[in-house]
Each structure stands twice: as structure tokens, then as C-alpha cells.
Structure 1
Amino acid sequence: MGEAIKKALKLLFLLGFIFSEISVFGQLSSEEIKSLLIIHFCENIEFQETQNEMFRIGCFTKDERVFEVLSSAESEVKIKKKQFTVERIDGLEAVRNFDAVFYDNTDQDQLIELLNVARENHVLLITDNQPEQLFVMINIIEREGEERLSFKVNMSNLTLAGLQAKPNLLLNGGSLVDIKKAYEKFESRLNQSQKDLAKFTEELKEREEELIQKKDSLLKKDKIIVLREQEITNYKNQLSAYQKELEELNRKVKSEQALVNQKAVELEKKNKELSQIFSSIDKKQLEFEKLEKEIYELSSRANDLRTKVEEKNIVLDQQQQSIYNQRRLLILSFGFILALLLAVFAVIRSVRIRRKLNRKLTEQNDLLSNTNIELKTTNDQLNEQREELRQTLEELQKAQMQMLQSEKMASLGVLTAGVAHEINNPLNYIQGGIYALNKILKKEKSLDDQTLKMLSRVISDMNVGVKRTADIVKSLNTFSRKDSHTIRPSNIHEIIDDSLLILNHEIKDKCKVEKAYIENAPFVKANQENLHQVFLNLILNAVQAIEGNGVLKISTKIESGDFFVIEISDTGVGIQKENLGKVFDPFFTTKDPGKGVGLGLSIVFKIIKEHNGTIKYSSEHNVGTTVTIKLPIND
């Protein structure tokens, strides 16, 4: 560091840092003046007592020049009669290890988190050119066109951090922050941002609805196309199977037809043989007739002899005629019997062939019947698959509704955190005002005792109101945390009390709350944010079930040394027996439309199961309802 800076540092502590009157600072740059201001602030703030031998300053800055100037002054200057050290800060967790922190970034969300950490750990926060004076302790201001730097002091934030300013702090350009004006300015910007956010949210919701409708339409069309393709594939497979069966049947019919043709040829051959036999018989008959003619001629020639033996010849002729007729009849009978036998054989053969064909046809009919049964079975399977798809679609719809509910809860958490933060700022201002009033009253000697008592009572009432508001803000902050996976030892009674505090506006005019807590209750390993959601749902359901004025009773006990038992009872309308088994079903609700979607108790049941616990409902219609929760203590 140059001779001018060394000279300025010496003048800083010898003359009380009245550098606006000293011409030596005309030789200093803006970064060097900021470094001297930071040392001046640290020297004129009363810090909490610590055992640290070194005074530590952290730089959350991108300006390397400020860091270099402060580092070069470590061996030249002492703060609070201690050597000081300057270090860079990379994250918010490291802030708690320093006495003072310099921050010159423009990220307002990071600034708010940094302010909260600084207040909790009694750390002085020095900022550079921050536009929002609500979130600073000491803010250095460098205006364009002015060579001299100024700064603003937010006494409320200093007080909340447990720090006190010495009178010399406001010398050389310092002034107090007008909290009311800063808050009104911030509130105006916040309202405009909320309006813009509401408008954007509405537009986003419309776009999401359009996207969901298009997505549903595409999904339906895709499902229909897939079903049609599956049906076409099934029909093609069935048609191919039928074609194969038909080809097999045609092959068998052709085979049977060839066999029938062969049998017909054999029958034709037998008919030809029978015709030849009949032809042979006719020839024999012709030969016999020829022989008869010859005999007749011989008879004529022997007519003379016949005359003599006429009687004998007549008898002989009669006998011969009888023999001839019998022989002819015998031959005809033999031929007829043979033809009849051949015809019967042909008929029997034809009947056997027909029976065999009928048997084949019966087998084919049975095969077709079996195929129809298989097709029916396949159709039943398709119907079952269609039912499974329908159930899957319903489950997806339920999952979508649960996702929407989770998003609503997340949005509610963000809104709650914002509300808690916005309440906390004016609360800090009120607290600072009460603190100042207490100091003024302690120093004021001109007021009489009655006036002092009245003012003390008013200030006490204000303190009670501030404390109650602070408790509400603390409960809202606990409810709005997004850490949904951390399991840690939890005080169940505090979680229940936080839930009652948040729902006080619902409870106070409807019912009387009776608490019967077990003494020296053990801690339960649980996710505090999820249990907040459980008790908020159960207590709100109990209060809404009470018509007129009633009683809400909450009791705790230890069962068998292993379970922490919570009972929440109300004197409401109760639950009907037929609905008692459905209370944990998703989308089941008995509330009027618009007052609930039926997901609250389903989410409660899921959270309790995730904690390896149990939840049971018992109710009597028009008498009341009792909810019993058991959580393992040592799980």
C-alpha cells in the first residue's frame, strides 16, 4: 500500500475518521475509500463478546481491488484492538465464521439469505450500492457525478443481529434508513411483480390446459391406432391360420376324392364283369334254343315214330318243357341273385365311404369349434387387457391429480414463505420502535407513575402481539420449507402447536381446543415438514366437521415404550359407517364441490406409512370422530 493510504489510516484513527475535511483523501481511489469505510464501520459497531483473538472480515465480492487494499492493511491497522484478517467467501455457510462481511453483488435473493444468516450469527453485513434498503445493515452509496461516498444505516437490522452502533458511525456522510419509505417502495414493486406473476401464471395455466388437451387427444389417437394395428395383426394371423387349415382340408378332400374315383373305377370294372357274365348266359341261352330247334327237327322227322308213341311223346314233351322252364328259371334266378349281391356290395361300399367322409367332416367341424373357442378365449383376453389398460389410465389420472396437489402444496409453500418474509420486515421495524420506546421511557423522568404504568402496559401488550406474530412467522417458515426428505429428531408437540397456530383463524370462533400432552415426551425421528402437512389436514378436517360450537381434543401418550400415540377427537357430525372404509381412498370426499378433491387423507395415509406408522379412524354419526396415529419412537 502507498504512502498516501498509510497516512490516511493513521489519520483515520488519530482524528476519528473525519476524512471529509482532510485533503489527503483526494489522492485515494474509490476502492481505497470503501476499504477505509469498512474498517471505520467495524470499529464503530459494538459486537457480541467472542473469544476470537483475530477480527475476521469476509469478502463476498468480485472487486479484487477492495480485497487487495483490505489485505494490505492487515499489518497496519487493528480493529477492536485486535489484528484483523481478510478472506474470500465462496458460500453462505461460511458467513457464520466471520465478524463482518462485505457484499457487492446484485443478486437480491442471495442478499436476503445472506442477511438472515448474518442476523442469526451476529455478523455485520456491509453492502455496496444495493437498491433495496430493507435488506441491508450498512450500505455504501456511490452516486454518479459525486466524488464523495455516502452510506445508509438500517438500525432495525443491526438491532435484530444483536449489534449496536456507536455515535461516531454516522459521521462523514452517514444517515439512517427510512424504513417506512423503503418498505412502501418495496411493497409497490412487489405488488407490481405479483400482478405480473398472476398474469403470467394465468397465461401459463391456459397454455398448460391447451397442451394437456392436445396431449390427451394425441394419446387417445395413438391408443386407437395401436388397438387397430393389433386387431389387424390378429385378423391377419387368424386369416393365415384359416388359410392353412383350408389348404389342409382341400388336400384331404382331394385325397378322398381320388379314393372315391378309384372305387368308382373298380365298381365300373365289376359292372363290366357282370355284363360279360350276363352276355355268356345269353349265349348259352341261344345255344340251348338252337339245340331245341334241332330237337324239334328231329322230332318232326320222327313224326311217324311219335305218332305211334304219341302218348309217350306228349308226356315226354311235357316233362322236357317242365325241365326247360325250371332250368331257365334257375339260370335267371342265379343271374338276378348275383346282380343283387353286386349291387348290395356297391351300396355297402358307398355307405362306408360316406361314413368315413362324414367322420372327416365331423372332425373338421370339431376343429372349427375348437378354433372358435380359442378365438373366444383370445377375445376374453383382449377384454381383460382392455380392462387393465382402463385401470392403468385411471391410476395415471390419479397420479396426475396427486402431482397437481403436490404442485399446489409447493406453490402454497412458496407463497407462505413470501408472506412470512413480508410480515417479518415490518415486524422488525415495530420491534426496533418498541426497543427505542423502552429506552426513552427508562430515561424519561417527567412522567408520573400512572402514565408510566399505562405506557408500560401498552408496550407490554405490543411485545405480546409482536411475539405472537413472530411465532406465526416461525410456524409459516417451518411449513414452507421444501426439505421433504430430511429425517431428524422432532418434537411432536411443537409440530401440533405450530399447526394449531396457523389454523387459529379457523378454530377460534368454532371450537374449544383441549390439549392433554404427555410430560417429558421423547423426540421422534421424522420429517417435520411432512408431519406439519399431516396435522394441518387432520385438524382442519376436524374443525370443518364441527357445526356450531364444539370441542377439539388432542392428546398424546406412549404405548409399550415403542410407539408415540397421538389422538385427535372432535364433536363434529362424524362419518357414516358405509364411508368409514373409504376415507383414505384417493378422490373420495363428502365435501361440497369446490371445497376439496379428496386427496388430503390419502396423502396423510401415505406420509404415515412412510414413517412406518399407522393411522386409524373411528367415528359415530352425529357424535364425533377420533383419529389415532402411532409413530415408532426408535425407528
Structure 2
Amino acid sequence: MFWGSVCLAQGIDDREKERIGALLANAKKNLNKKRLVVSLNQAESALNLAKNIADAQKTWEAKNLIGEIYLTQNEFQKAIHLFLEMSMQAEKVNNYSVSANGYLSLANIYSHMGAFNKAAETYEIAYDQFNQIDYELGMIEVKSAASLNYLISNQSEKALASFQKLLELAIRDSLAYFKLIAHDGLLEVHQKAGNYEEGIEVGEAYIALIETEGGSDQMAANAHNQMAALYLTAGENEKALTSLKSSETIGTRNPTGNKILSNTYRLLSKTHLALGSQKEADQYDSKFKTLKSRLPSQAKYHPDDLEEAEIVARDLERISRAIVIEKDLSRQAEEKTKRNEILSNEIARLKFLEHEALVGNRDLGHSALEAEYIHQDLMVAQHQFESTERQAEILRYKASLVRRQLELKIAQEEKLILTQEAEINAKRQQIYLIAGGAIILIAIILGVEYVRVRNLNKLLKKQQATIHQRNVELEISNATIMEKNAKLHKAHDELKRTQANLIQAEKMSALGMLTAGIAHEVNNPISFVSNGLQILEENISEAFDNLSTFEQVLQLDDIDEIKSNYNIHKAENASVSMLKKDTADLLEDVKFGATRITEIVDGLRIFSRKDEKKFKKAHLHEIIDSALLISKSKYKGRVQIIKEYGVDIPAIDCFPGQLNQIFINLIGNAADAIEGEGWIKVMLQNVSGKYVRAIVQDSGSGMTEDVKKKIFEPLYTTKESGKGTGLGLSITTDIIKTHRGHIEVRSKVGVGTAFILTLHVDLMKGKEEAENA
């Protein structure tokens, strides 16, 4: 009879399991079809049936499916509450298999929300719990999910380390599926990081593993696509095309991999475009667009702010944890009430049996044995009750501890408020006392002052006469001060004139030092012009003589004489050709000399002209070329001039004459610093379109730190007496300040020196904006 009942119960359970399995299968189908309400109802029905027959596996499957539905609906609070409650309840009974799976699902939810750091923390909890029960497959599943979490959160280094650890675990336990997952993840990490060589090596191993371990066609096609992307990055377009052709072959025979095939078409279009095959690129682009339009759209949760996602995830877990604890406390209270009722009923029953034994005088063997069993059950119940009481007491203690902490904090705040109020009252009393004392003191002072004022009034009349006399003297002093101010203004104007004269004197000093060289430069082209004109005059005179002879020949009557003279003329005609050639050469020399004189005069004109009152646009390279021309005598024949004028150098607002003087000083100093042969490099750079940087660098002897500190001081010079005034760099600094620019010097003994000037492009615009502001 008992065995029949067991068989009947077993049969009912099997039918219920089949029904639960059918409900879960239908729920998954409806989930794939996005019929979420129907799917949720079926999964909840399956969960209730699984609880009724106490089937832990089916209960877990139903809860997992419900959590997936919640996740699809973005109902994160419900999903988190579901798995957190399951994990916490399992932890209480040390069922770490269930709790670890619950934490794994929780971590997947956090990763889906974009709370990647919270997900990583929860994966660690799940990993530790699987480790406690030494469940290696569970640990590998957690490591796989955690690696994907690092990958989608773009934490490349952590993803690489995690996938490598996953590969080690999978190889150790000979788990082919996770080997494939690890290779796929490593290949994607290397592709994102642009690690060409490592990515290709992993990809080749991945494809070989798919062939030997039985990986899917989708895995192979995806691997070929990722390797093709690496080849494209490295510029190896032919290898990329070969990989993509393999992927296309796999994709066309596997209709379920349309998403991967669409990616293959996209990469093929890009590859053919890189190879210059526009027609094939267009064909594959058309295939890609057609296939993409047929693919179902997949809604995915994209958090806008990752920090906010972290905060939301932690808040949702905190809320769910509080709800679970509150429900657990309520359940424990109900169980305690029920146990008390059962205990009371059992105690009443024992008392009844004892009473029957005393008054009934019957065989109590069976009743005594039953009472003993009941007593043992009561002891077990009492022990469970006490254990539950202790747990409830611990929870109540924790809750009371939190309340006590809050009460203590409130008490401290109240104490602080009372202390502050006491301090305020004490200060108020002090203020009252001080105010009363001050009033009394003021009254005494006023009385004393009244007497003193009466005495002072008598002295006031005497002092008024003195003040009047002082006022007269003050007016005289003011007149004297005004006169001194006028003299100071006059002295200031004189100082300005002196400064201008110093600048002009420095110009004249530099011009005087360069006069000999310029005279030599001008003398050469003048010699060209003078000598050429003298020879040209002789050639023209000779030409006129030949023309006169030819006219005389034409006037002769005798034909024989004409022929004879014609032969003479023919011989002279050759000399006329030579004369023309010589004349042309002389004219070229004269033109060269005149052009050379014009260049030198233009350079002198830029250097020696007076400073304008307003800035004007000028090109720095023209100013520098003029300075190089004027300074040519200092470096000609021994110093190589290197010009590096950058492209798109704009004209700047400046006083061209003053800047010309700066570059004459810098080029002259550079030439003097070079003993024997060397080089001077002049560079121009465009800085963001707002500034122009000019650099004058030489290969001279360089300067010590002490010299660098003093070179901009007036009258300081390192040159011999009579060769330098010591004003050049001082005036250069003043001119740079006038242009609101910046000058910097860099030098090293035995290497050379570089002066770096930075000047505004639109100085007038900046000045007008500053004045308007």
C-alpha cells in the first residue's frame, strides 16, 4: 500500500515535470517572438508548479527565464530582486551552488545596464562561491562572463588578462567550448587594440581549433572576418580578401548566420575599395544593405552615463536587499508564531496523556513511547526554534544597532545644537553686560570730554589763526609741487627723447660698423655699370664708323668697286656681329649691377627709415632678407646662411624698421660668435595662425649661465672695446615689448646659441579688443 502511494506520487511528479518543461519551452518561444506578457505568464506558472513539487532544477530554470524576460523589458529592479533574493536565501543554508548561479545572473544584469564595475565585483563573488564548493565548470563560466564584461567596457588590459586566464582553465580541464570562447575573445581584444601580429597568431590557432574541436560555422566565419579587419588595418589587402572569401563561402551555406554574412559583405566592399575595384565594392555594398534590411532589429539597452548606471545599479541592489531582509524578518516572525502554537498544542497533548496515565490505570507502553517521540520532536522543534530565535535576535540586534547608531547621531546633533544654543545665550549675556558697561563708560567719557572740550574751545581760537597761516604756507607748497611736477614731466619727455636717440644711435652705430661692407658691396655693381658703359661707348662709336663706311660704298658708281667694297663690308659685317654680342653681354652686366644696387639700397631704406606711428602689415621673411643683405660683410665667405621659412607664414602687424634692427643685431652677434667657419640658421614657424615664431640659431661658442643672465642689460657686452656698444640686445628687448611679443635665449658653451622671438599676427586686433574691453 505504501509502495503504491509512492509510485502514484512519482507518476504525478513526472507528469508535472513534463508540464513544467512544456511551459518553459513555450515561454522561450514567445520570448524570442517578443511576446513578453505571454512568456512571463507561462514562466511564472512553471515556477509555481516547480515549487509545488519541490523541484530545485526546474525552479532555477523558471526563475532564470523570468529574469531574462525582466531584462528584455528593462525591468532591472524586478530582475535584481529575483536573483538577489534567491542568492541570499541559498547563502543562509550554505547552498553555494544556487547562490553562485544567482550572483552570476546578477552580474550579467549589471553588465547589461552598463554598470561594469559593479558587474565585475559581483562576478568575483560568484567565482569565490563556486570556488568554495570546488565547482570548476562554474568558475570557468564566471570567468568567461567576466571577460566579456571587460571586453564590452573597453578595458582592454583586464579583458586580455581575463581571457588568457580563461584559456588556461579551459585547457587544464579540456573544455573545448570555453577554449573557443577564449580564442574568440582574445582575437577581438587584439583587433580592437590593433595588435596585428598577435591577432593573426591567435586567429590562426582559433580556426585550427574550430576544425579540430568541432566549432560552429558561425565561429569560423566570425574569425575570418576579424582576421580580415586586422589585415586591412595592416594594409595587407590581398590577405584580407582571401580571409573574407572563406567567410563568404561559410556564410552562404549557413542561412542562420545572416548577421555575420552581412558583416562579411561590408568588409568585402571596404577591401575592394582599398584595392581600387570600385565596381566590386559597389556590388558588395548593395548586398550588405539588402541583407541588413532583412535582419530583425534588436533593441539593446545603451546607458548614456556609465557613472549614473553604477549608481543606479547599487541603489537597486540596496533596495532589493532591504526588501529581502524585511520579508525574511516577517517570515521568521510568522514561523515563530506557528512554532509557538505547535509547541503549545504538543505540551497540552502531553499533559493530557500524563493525566490519562494517572487516572486511567492502563497500559501506557505505546502512549509512553508516543510521548517520548513527541518529546523528542519537541526538543528538535525547540532547538530549531532557539536557532531561529538566535538568527532573528542577530537580525534584530543589527537593526537595533543601526537604530542606536542613528539615535546616537541624532543625540550628538541635538547635543551640538544645545551646546551652540548655550554658547549663544552666554554670548548674548556677555553682550548685554558689555553693552551696559559700555553705556556707563560712554556716559563717564562724555562727561569728561564735555569738560575737556570746553577747555579745547579756548585753544581752538588760537589754533584757527595758526591753521590759517598753515593754509597760506600749504598753498605756496602746492605751487612749488606743481612747478616740480612740470619739471618732472619735462624730464620724462626728455628721457623718452633720449631713449629714442639711443635707439637711433644704436642704428647709426650698427650702420657705421657695416658701412665698409656695404660700400664694398655697392662698389662691385657700380664697377660693372662703369666699365660696361665705357666699353659700350667704344662699341657704339665703332658701329657708327662702320655704318659711315657702308654708306660711302653704296654711293660709288663703279660696279667693280662696289663688289670690292662689298667684300670689305662682308668682312666687316662679321666684326659687327661680334660687336653686337659684346654689346649684349655688356648690357647684361650693366643690368646685373643696377639690380644689385637696387637690392642694397632697398635694404638700407628698410633699415634706416624712421619709425612709423602706426603698425603696418609686413612679412618677416622680407625683413630678415634685408637684414641678411645689410649684414653680409660680417659673414660673407666664412658663414653659411640656412633659411627654413615655413609654409603659410602670415604677415604680421609691426614696425618693419624696428624689426629689421632686431635681426641685424641678432645676425651680427651670431656672426661675431663664430670663430672661423660655421653656420647661421634662420627659421620661421606659424603657431596656430595667431603667432609667428622666428628663431636665429648659430654654431658659435655659446654662452655661460652668468652671461645669459646679463646679455639684455644696457651697456653689457662681451665684445672687445670699440667693437660693441652693449645696447643692441637691450634695445631689442624694448622693441619686443613694444610689439607685445616674447624673446627667449637658449645657449650651451661649445654648441651654440638660439634666440627665439614670438610675435602676434593680429596685434592691432588684440589691442582694439583690449581697449574696447
Confirm or deny a common fold (TM above 0.5): no
Question: Radius of gyration: which is bigger?
Answer: 1
Higher fraction of helix: 2
Q: Which has the higher contact order (CA 8 A, sep 6+)?
A: 1
What is the TM-score when the length of structure 2 is the normalising length?
0.27
Higher fraction of strand: 1
What is the TM-score when the length of structure 1 is the normalising length?
0.33
